[in-house]
Structure 1
Amino acid sequence: MPSILISGAGQGIGAAAAKLFYQQGYKVGIYDINAVQTQKLAQQLGENAKAGLLDVANIEHWQKALTEFTQWAGELNVLVNNAGILYSGAFEHTDIASHHRTIDINVKGVINGCYASLPYLQKAAFARVINLSSASAIYGQADLATYSASKFAVRGLTESLDIEWQKYGIRVLDVMPLFVQTAMVKDMDAESIRKMGVHLTPDDVAEQILSLATLKAHAFTPTHRAVGFKTKVLFNLSKISPQFVNRLSNLWIAQKQSALEK
């Protein structure tokens, strides 16, 4: 029975992925900083689900989680670095602690997960890492500056390790959704969410994670998976549009209507 460990699995995309993979016959590790949510979900799913506490910014948490999970599951086949946070609003109006926390979780958390999991992935019959990037990693987003920067970091790390770890037979891929209907986007202070809308569900993203985990990857398999029609359009246009066009289009997305009418 294949196994998967998902960080930030107590709610949202992580919980949706845990349910989907469980239905597909995986042993599922549900790890989150909220231990109550993980235990509740694991109990709902059944005996092939294991809950655990994980602060992704803490490498010792990762080491403990991976040790206990692999002892229970037998091996680690798929790692999903899903845990993340988002602060929105003007860069200068967001306190510096929140900027630092974004980097600690969204960037250091993914680095920690990849670093700590490699010895286990190398031993597995097949292994894959799937990171949660974002449409915000296509072009830097106003009022989401540090979040966007963190997802660019995830994108870069994914590309780098997908090449580095080819020698181990491990593909490192990511999904890049636009705004998803989760608690993270409630009360967001960014014009982009009003103009682009929130059309994706956690189930939509979970299905793409499952697709990446189960596909027979080859040399021409893309490292990035844009999720949703709008994300695919933005991602593909960014490849062919001149830089000034990308800037102007993102300037339009970011500008409030009142500013445009002046």
Structure 2
Amino acid sequence: MSKSVLITGAAAGIGRATALRFAAAGYIVGGFDVDRDGLAALAADLGSRHVTGELDVRDADGWRAALDALTSRTGGELDVLVNNAGILRSGRFAEIPLADQQRIIEVNVTGVLNGCHAAYPYLKRTQGAHVVNLASASAIYGQPELAAYSASKFAVRGLTEALDLEWAGDDITVRALWPLFVNTAMVDGMDIASTRSLGIRLTADDVAEAVYDAVQPRRRLGGVHIAVGRQAKLMRAASDIAPSWMSRLVNKRLTS
């Protein structure tokens, strides 16, 4: 039987590119999102072998329905879960409405929590299963003008580390991807100090390829965190050896 993957936020950007990458590799893809038009376009590109559907990742019941829709075609197994859905608001913390910041936490953190919890039984019964959580290089050090988003990715980082240890006995690996800014609709119109300093150099296809690479057998012995792109790799390597005061200084210079 073909391997399977469930991808959230699959209607556009990184999620769509990831869905197409796994489909090209022969996986049965379950692509879910809240964007109906984007889902219709994805379904047309994927074909009838695959599953698409609406899912608000904050909705635990919706998760169960999405998993049932996909695993009904796979004998109840799930090889890969990709928690990609996320939202972002940039700007000064005090100037962004509180409701918008709360929604960032709900989607980016609660959505990943819901997905991991709902998918666990399917992953456990699948040999060599994987979870890939989309974190961010903003989880290296808290980012001004991205405070709530950065905090949400620190939460994803912690959850990933904990579950990778906790689920190792169930033959489930859990990985976090750490891209910097990616050229998708999420960063349209964004003009903050860090984008001016670092630019927007990654494409959705770059990240999709990194997601696919993260679930290859040779990756099972690798680290939990996978930086995507040269900039993120350099920043992560530097953070591993630099004292905290230096990390703060570097981030202050990049974001001011």
Name the TM tier (shorter chain).
Answer: over 0.9
Q: How does 1:89-168 map to 2 (within 5 A)?
A: 89-168=91-170
CA distance in 2 between counterparts of 1:32 and 1:126 reads 26
The whole-number CA distance in structure 2 between the counterparts of 1:215 and 1:224 is 16
- How many positions carry a matched residue from both structures? 254
Deviation at 1:48? 2.2
Asked if the contact 1:179/1:199 (under 8 Å) is kept, the reply is yes
In structure 2, stretches of 5+ residues that fail to align are none
Q: Give the counterpart letter for 1:51 in structure 2.
A: T
Structure 1 unmatched ranges of 5 or more: 256-262
Partner of 1:184: 186
The one-character-per-residue Cα deviations of 1:89-137 (angstroms, maximum 9, x if unpaired) are 0000000001100000000000000000001111113310000000000
CA offset digits 1:138-158 (Å, max 9, x no partner): 010000000000000000100
Equivalent position of 2:33 in the other structure: 32
Matches within 5 A, 1:220-259: 220-255=221-256
RMSD (Å), alpha carbons: 1.0
* Separation (CA, whole Å) in 2 of partners of 1:144 and 1:189: 11
* 1:173-219, Cα deviation, whole Å (9 max, x unpaired): 0110000000001111421011100010000000010001123344x
Q: Which residue does the alignment assign to 1:2?
A: 3
Which residue of structure 2 lines up, in the alignment, with residue 20 of structure 1?
Answer: 21
What amino acid does structure 2 have at the position aligned with 1:146?
A
Secondary structure of residue in 2 paired with 1:130: strand
Over 4 Å off, 4+ runs: none
* Structure-1 separation of matches of 2:92 and 2:244: 23
- In 2, the alpha carbon distance for the partners of 1:217 and 1:3 equals 18
Structure 2 CA distance for aligned equivalents of residues 61 and 73 of structure 1: 19
**Cα separation, 1, equivalents of 2:15 and 2:65:** 20
Percent identity of paired positions between Structure 1 and Structure 2: 48
Distance 2:37 2:189 in 1: 25
Give yes or no for contact 1:82–1:131 (8 Å, CA) kept in 2. Answer: yes
- Contact 2:79/2:129, CA 8 A, preserved across alignment: yes
